[in-house]
Amino acid sequence: MSTQHVPHPRIAEREHAGPHTTRREQLGFNGRFAILITNAVGTMWCAYAFALLALISLPAAIKAGTATLVSWIAQTFLQLVLLSVIMVGQKVAAAASDKQALQTYKDAEALLKIEDELHRLLKINNDLTEQIHRAVAERDAKR
């Protein structure tokens, strides 16, 4: 059994790469543009603005009758307002997921360092055990 400790290459790879979060995605022009639009539309202020915009046509929908009112609720209000609200929820969920990913990364880093320290201590223990074994063997040989 070899007591030579060779750290796993993944340790150095993890130190270089860091945690994977949504912010570090490589998106290109289209991805950045989509993120820009998403960040603009995915705010509660945008949801409030869409709600006000939808409410402008509410009186006409009420006058037109039940079918038009139901259509207005489904096609105008819900689509305009819920789009932004859902996007805000997605941003909150993504932020929470990134926090969890970072915490998991830090925990894994700590465990890797502890494991590396255990390997070092095992090597010291093995070396000391070998020295004790040699000392006992030498003592017995002198008798």
pLDDT recorded at residue 1: 47
Q: Is residue 18 part of a domain?
A: no
d(CA 42, CA 121): 52
Q: Is residue 19 part of a domain?
A: no
Side chain identity, residue 92: V
Tokens of 108: 């894994």
Q: Is residue 5 part of a domain?
A: no
Q: Grade residue 5 by pLDDT with cuts at 50, 70 and 90.
A: low
d(CA 100, CA 98): 5
Q: With b meaning 16 or more CB within 10 Å and e meaning fewer, what string describes 48-65?
A: eebeeebeeeeeebeeee
Q: Is the dihedral of CA 65, 69, 72, 75 positive or negative?
A: negative
Q: Give the residue among 43, 115, 51, 106 at the shortest CA–CA distance from 77.
A: 51
Q: Is residue 90 part of a domain?
A: yes
pLDDT recorded at residue 135: 93
d(CA 116, CA 11): 10
Q: Kindly report the average pLDDT of the chain as a whole number.
A: 85
Mind listing the pLDDT tens digit for each residue in 15-61?
A: 777 776 666 666 788 888 888 888 888 899 999 999 999 999 999 99
Q: What percent of the chain has pLDDT over 70?
A: 90
Q: Is residue 114 part of a domain?
A: yes
d(CA 14, CA 128): 32
Sequence-distant (6+) residues with CB within 8 A of 3 are 122, 123, 126, 127
Q: Is residue 13 part of a domain?
A: no
**What residues make up the domain containing 128?**
27-142
pLDDT recorded at residue 128: 94
Q: Is residue 43 part of a domain?
A: yes
DSSP conformation class of 43? S
Q: How many domains does the chain have?
A: 1
